[in-house]
Structure 1
Amino acid sequence: MKTLDFRIRKLHVNTDADKRLQKRQPSRIYVNEEALIELTGSKDGGRAICIERIHEENPVRREATLWKAPEKLDKTVTQMYDVFRDACGFKLGESVRITALGGGLPDAEEVVLEQMPGVDGSLPEPMAPEDTPGWEVLLAGRLSQIEHVYAGWMIKNMFVRGPERSFIVTSVNGRPTGNARYIDRKTRLVVGTAAPKNDDGEGQINKVSDRKLEITGIKGLDAPLKKLNDLLRVFASGVILKSNFSFPGIVIHGGHGTGKTMLLNSLAKTGWGTVFRIKFKDKLTEIHETFQKAKLQQPSIILIDQLERLIDKERSNRDAVILALCELLDGLAADAVTKGEAPQVLVVATCLDYTSDIPEDLKDPGRFTSEIYIPMPDVEGRREILSSLGLCVQPDQEEELLSHLSASTHAYNGKDLRRLADEACLIGTTRHLSSLSLSASNPNPSPLLSPPPEAEEDEPSPSPAATLIPADYHSALRLVRPSLMHDINLKPPPIHWDDIAGQALVKQSLRRAVRLSLEPPEVLAQFFDRPPKGFLLYGPPGCSKTMAAQAMTTESGLNFFAVKGAELLNMYVGESERAVRRLFQRAREVAPSMIFFDEIDSIAGQRSGFSSSSSKSNGSSGGVNVLTTLLNEMDGFEALHGVVVLAATNRPHALDPALLRPGRFDELIYVSPPDEEARRAIFTKVGAKRKMNDDVDIDKLVRNTEGYSGAEIKGICAAAGVAAYDRFITEGIDGGIQMGDLEQAIKNQKKQITREMIKGFEDWERQFGKV
């Protein structure tokens, strides 16, 4: 924004045309053509500007419009009509600063007029309620005679009945500095009583707007909304109990679709002050201009949606943007301390995760230090949201449907619930249109959308097109899934416990883990101070560790989060730690759930000083930071009821010992190579699915595959099947898989599990493991 300084010179109004213009547009400010072009970039007049007294010991600020002077002026001189100058308290010869606000004059949506105190400062006799409409009509008539209305404009000595009354415009569009285009029969008038004059004899029209800064009418967010409104009430009061207090910026954070943007939009609709928005694509100069405009047009609100995108790590000037925000917020705080009152510029931002999205510099006092977390709605919250959406079913069906939907929409956020309601409406409308088509061919159809059976014949039934049935919502529930589960949730293949041969101890431990995650806290309290939540599967490769995790989630129905450890090691510093925190947060929100870390040794290797056999993440600050974050998250298991953490590794000796203590991985479960019974079960199951020759001896195959992993045995069966297929294609022999095929496959399959490897697992198990 461009700014220039001027001295005020007398504007002479001589002609009748000048007098008419002064009456219609009293808030005109005149400068010479050069200054006009420099400030607005155009020769055309009428651009919105802010004019303010330079001397801060007696600040005065007003909005106006800028025009080319009708007479020759020096570039450092400005002129204005006497009526506007007197209303603002500017004096001839005084220095003022003019700042271009950009754009033309806005329309006046609301003008607040208040009765002026008498000369002695006494308030006038209160206006009788029955007189108010008459005064509003009379004032509207006077305002219709002007085109531009500004804060400070006065209407004196008006009379309806009773004493004469005078009025002053104290607010235009919610701003005590405002200036706008009055539109007859469209601009809303609000009439009240002004405050007495201050010690300088001037009316206190620079006070914050009386419009209430409060958000109401939002269902399902009671706790965060109360915290936000408490902060807004402190801000709007202007009361400071500590001399160096600086009101902080507010950050609203939470998952996608939880209502952050809705709260920003609701804040903008309060009408408390001028609303400015900073978008994530805004340039650095635009950010500076927005803050400057907000300071000039107080009271004002600056809204920053998706702050994490504004300061994204891929942004080339990210550091400069962060520094600018710090300095701009500090400037607001300094102004507040200087004036001894709360600032009249409110800054509210949103992000996904306050902990990881907001840099430490922006969390310093006076910056973004007030944070409000929007959690996923619980059962009652979902019920309130659904109720506010209007289910549009018969009254006697609504309560039961609300109870069913609120209980069946675990992990749904507010946006998901809206999608659910919309989908049900589409389903109901489609069904209704189908019924109309049937009605055209059937004179006596049975209506799909009908009034309750107990309705009397002479009572008007509801319009079928406006009525849904519970089945519409049940169908929608199958189609609309919670968005929280869309990106990192992986649906495992449908593996069942019966698909895993042997491993009875592993199955028993994991089934118990599922039961523990589903038990109510009061039941668990009878047996545990802290029930086990972390389970580590370790053993040679190919022995069904990953299959066990898949079977666990298939059989339990838990929400399943699966991630390979190496996938968390991001190229950007801090992203991996954020991914871990976000993973645990989302698991809490959609509990009962399970987090499965495959190849956990890649992110949980030993830190230097423990052992020489560290994982390859050893020595990497990124790997150490991820491990530290993982340890911290797992320490919070007592608040994670319903969340199971399962991990698998082929290299348990590479894990950091801190991860293995109780409270993190409580149970260390050895998944051994399949024993004789398990190998027999694998060969038998394969044989049941494929064509086997009568010469196949399963007992001999079991003896010949001792020490092989389950994956290797399946590979042997697959290789034997290839040999049988090739024989069928080349020789036309359809004898199925023969014993010779299997024996040859065993010879060709190199056994990866060595005696030394098994001994290493046994030694580690004696040191750390539990059986």
Structure 2
Amino acid sequence: MSSHAPKVLEVKIRPYQSQSQDRPDHKHTSRVYVCTDILLDLQLKSGETCYLWKISEGEHTRREAVIWLAAEKLSRKVVQVSKALQEACGFRLSDEVCIARGGELATAQEVKVKDVGATEGDIGELRGRDKECWEWVLEDCFARAETIFPGMTFKDVLVRREKRTFTVHSVNGSRSSVAKYDEVSSIKITSATALSGGATPTAIIEHKSLQLVDIAGIDQALGELNNFLSDFNRHFKFTKARRSPAVLLHGGRGTGKTFIVDKITNTGWGKVRKITRTTKPAEIQKTFKEAKLAQPSIIVIDDMDAIVTKDGTILQDVTEAICEGVEELTKDQPPTSLPRVLVVATTSDISKIPMSLRKRGRFATDIMLPIPDAAARKAILKSSAPQISPETSDQILDDLGERTHAYTPEDLALLLDQAHITAEKRLEKSEQESTQDNFVIQEDIEHALLVVRPSAMHDITLRPPKVRWHEIGGQDRVKEAIQLALETPFRVSVIFPPRSPVGTNNIPASRDHAGLRRVSHQRSASLRPSWLFQNPYGSSCSHRDGVQLFCCEGS
């Protein structure tokens, strides 16, 4: 878990001990009184602000108040809230609320006030000099209150034998903040028409965009991911669908899963919390709970297969803790929106993720990061901006993109690193000191290609054994059938699209083997043109050496 997570405490609402503290002039009614322990936990001091919100409603409903050390002894499980603030916030006695750290108390610049009687149509609206007169009287009321907040109501204010009731509508454009009133503050009695015009109150938190841009080589996967991320800012019209804030990124080693997770966390959209192999089930549940209370948040579960399994055995307690945590996020959430908690997990082998985690409402959304094709490899190489002469850069990188079949994005990065290291050593041996030659050249690229090999080919044979048909004795009918299966797709392009993988295998009943075949087919498709063989035919074994993938370079 992140050490920078904000402290959030759960407390209950209690009234002021002395009713005289709830004064008619509203002085100090913006205060919430707490014990010393709460001040220390939140790292606040009297006079600073805190945030309060009902646990049942979520942080998006939070209200700001002034925190203050209580004169009498209080439990760390309660806060004292004035009746005026309770009514403004919609709190009731014994409500369970969250309290979190705020900051310095701001100064009220503009205060919009609603004339309750005029708004309800009981009396006429104030205009001209009458309006200015009432605003002048309200200045005195606010000055005596010292701090003001939306919902604060001044009843039966008397001017020239006329009584009116006023309620603070917004402070500095916000419907949820608290501020100090002083001589620079201005009051504006707003008409009922203006208030009903739908002026949107300023949000307490400015949520940053949760979209990823400028990632080369994964256009389709990036589009799917951004489409999923856009749901956090979407108001759903089809509310019957069960949605989840969790997404699973999967792909082979070096395909960019961790890179994308880092991009997401660097958006600054929310506080980042991490679940690792050492995180215990109780801590996992606490992580989800804290994230729900401190929205927006991002929960990262990198290499989830290593977290939920051990030596091929599913860790039930860890798996159940994650399942319950994801479902808890959407509990009591309106079906028109997602909770502002993104759960992003990664795995190199999706078949190792327990099906209980991939059920509806959990990690039902999965996005595959494929091994890049030639066009994607060229885009990745060019986006890396290697130190190559501008005159030859495009030609060298285009050629390199064509030659690096089955190289992952990580392999390409290592390849360029090696080319730069080779160029550095080459220049050290050279007596030339001119900066004009400080570029990676084709010779450096060739050396790097010998050092860095494609990691996606660790179980793939680029050059099949040189066994000729005539060297295989007997089985003439079998050989003819295999030859027909292998050659037909290349000869009859109308029926079979070019560059498609050709496979000859039997579908086993074994669930594990079926998962292996599915992954093998996905990999062969991403490495096409390729041939997928299963040996022995009809075997129900579940080992990787039961499948051979032969990859053919070229078209």
SS at match of 1:301: strand
Structure 1 residues 592 and 210 mapped into 2: Cα distance closer, same or farther (>3 Å)? Answer: same
Flag the structure with more relative contact order, 1 or 2, with Cα contacts below 8 A and sequence separation at least 6. 2
Shift of 1:208: 6.9
The 5 A counterparts of 1:556-705 are 576-593=513-530, 597=534, 599-600=536-537, 603-604=539-540
SS at match of 1:481: coil
Matched, 1:477 2:445: no
Q: Give distance in 2, aligned partners of 1:58 and 1:416.
A: 43
Q: Is this contact kept in 2: 1:31–1:79, CA < 8 A?
A: yes
Matched, 1:53 2:21: no
Structure 1 residues 373 and 79 mapped into 2: Cα distance closer, same or farther (>3 Å)? Answer: same
Shift of 1:30: 5.4
Letter in 2 for 1:525: S
Shift of 1:106: 10
Q: Give distance in 2, aligned partners of 1:70 and 1:316.
A: 57
Deviations 1:260-311 (A, max 9, x none): 1222111122222333222233111121111111111112222222222221
Structure 1 residues 303 and 226 mapped into 2: Cα distance closer, same or farther (>3 Å)? Answer: same
The 5 A counterparts of 1:674-753 are none
Matched, 1:167 2:178: no
Matched, 1:408 2:415: no
Deviations 1:133-164 (A, max 9, x none): xxxxxxxxxxxxxxxxxxx99xxxxxxxxxxx
Q: What's 1:73 paired with?
A: 74
Shift of 1:592: 4.3
Structure 1 residues 324 and 64 mapped into 2: Cα distance closer, same or farther (>3 Å)? Answer: farther
Q: Is this contact kept in 1: 2:489–2:502, CA < 8 A?
A: no
Q: What's 1:358 paired with?
A: 353
Shift of 1:6: 4.2
Letter in 2 for 1:479: V
Matched, 1:247 2:243: yes
Q: What's 1:425 paired with?
A: 420
Q: What's 1:399 paired with?
A: 394
Q: What's 2:132 paired with?
A: none
Q: Is this contact kept in 2: 1:274–1:300, CA < 8 A?
A: yes
Q: Is this contact kept in 1: 2:9–2:99, CA < 8 A?
A: yes
Structure 1 residues 224 and 75 mapped into 2: Cα distance closer, same or farther (>3 Å)? Answer: closer
Q: Is this contact kept in 2: 1:53–1:59, CA < 8 A?
A: no
RMSD: 5.5
Structure 1 residues 407 and 92 mapped into 2: Cα distance closer, same or farther (>3 Å)? Answer: closer
Q: Give distance in 2, aligned partners of 1:310 and 1:198.
A: 53
Question: Normalization by structure 1: what TM-score?
Answer: 0.49
Q: Give distance in 1, aligned partners of 2:413 and 2:109.
A: 46
Matched, 1:384 2:413: no
Letter in 1 for 2:402: A
The 5 A counterparts of 1:309-348 are 309-314=306-311, 318-337=315-334, 340-348=336-344
Deviations 1:742-763 (A, max 9, x none): xxxxxxxxxxxxxxxxxxxxxx
The 5 A counterparts of 1:70-109 are 71-74=72-75, 77-79=78-80, 89-90=88-89, 94-97=93-96
Structure 1 residues 208 and 342 mapped into 2: Cα distance closer, same or farther (>3 Å)? Answer: farther
Q: Give distance in 2, aligned partners of 1:472 and 1:512.
A: 46
Structure 1 residues 475 and 330 mapped into 2: Cα distance closer, same or farther (>3 Å)? Answer: same
Question: Normalization by structure 2: what TM-score?
Answer: 0.66
Shift of 1:216: 0.5
Structure 1 residues 352 and 377 mapped into 2: Cα distance closer, same or farther (>3 Å)? Answer: same
Shift of 1:507: 11
Q: Give distance in 1, aligned partners of 2:302 and 2:504.
A: 39
Which of 364, 368, 374 is the equivalent residue of 1:373? 368
Matched, 1:302 2:299: yes
Q: What's 1:236 paired with?
A: 233
Matched, 1:349 2:321: no
Structure 1 residues 307 and 418 mapped into 2: Cα distance closer, same or farther (>3 Å)? Answer: same
Structure 1 residues 256 and 211 mapped into 2: Cα distance closer, same or farther (>3 Å)? Answer: same
Letter in 1 for 2:373: D
Deviations 1:502-531 (A, max 9, x none): 5477899989979986x8967432687999
Q: Give distance in 2, aligned partners of 1:317 and 1:300.
A: 28
Structure 1 residues 346 and 506 mapped into 2: Cα distance closer, same or farther (>3 Å)? Answer: same
Q: What's 1:292 paired with?
A: 289
Structure 1 residues 211 and 362 mapped into 2: Cα distance closer, same or farther (>3 Å)? Answer: same
Q: Give distance in 2, aligned partners of 1:431 and 1:507.
A: 57
Question: What is the percent sequence identity of the aligned residues?
Answer: 28
Q: What's 1:434 paired with?
A: 429
Structure 1 residues 515 and 68 mapped into 2: Cα distance closer, same or farther (>3 Å)? Answer: farther
Shift of 1:405: 0.6
Matched, 1:468 2:473: no
Shift of 1:407: 0.4
Shift of 1:384: 0.5
Q: What's 1:31 paired with?
A: 34
Q: Give distance in 2, aligned partners of 1:349 and 1:307.
A: 6
SS at match of 1:372: strand
Q: Is this contact kept in 2: 1:253–1:353, CA < 8 A?
A: yes
What is the number of residues matched between the two proteins? 466
Structure 1 residues 318 and 169 mapped into 2: Cα distance closer, same or farther (>3 Å)? Answer: farther
Shift of 1:81: 10
Q: What's 2:164 paired with?
A: none
Structure 1 residues 211 and 534 mapped into 2: Cα distance closer, same or farther (>3 Å)? Answer: closer
Structure 1 residues 386 and 510 mapped into 2: Cα distance closer, same or farther (>3 Å)? Answer: farther
Q: Give distance in 1, aligned partners of 2:517 and 2:62.
A: 50
Letter in 1 for 2:492: L
Shift of 1:350: 1.9
Q: What's 2:271 paired with?
A: 274
Shift of 1:397: 0.7
- Which structure 2 residue ranges, 5 or more long, are not aligned? 1-7, 22-27, 116-148, 151-169, 178-192
- Which structure 1 residue ranges, 5 or more long, are not aligned? 15-21, 122-151, 154-164, 171-175, 178-195, 440-444, 451-461, 537-567, 605-622, 635-639, 645-771
Shift of 1:365: 2.6
SS at match of 1:396: coil
Bigger share in helix: 1
Q: Give distance in 2, aligned partners of 1:469 and 1:87.
A: 72
Q: Give distance in 2, aligned partners of 1:312 and 1:9.
A: 52
Shift of 1:472: 1.0
Q: Give distance in 2, aligned partners of 1:290 and 1:532.
A: 44
Q: Is this contact kept in 2: 1:197–1:204, CA < 8 A?
A: no
Shift of 1:574: 5.8
Shift of 1:491: 8.8
Q: Is this contact kept in 1: 2:532–2:550, CA < 8 A?
A: no
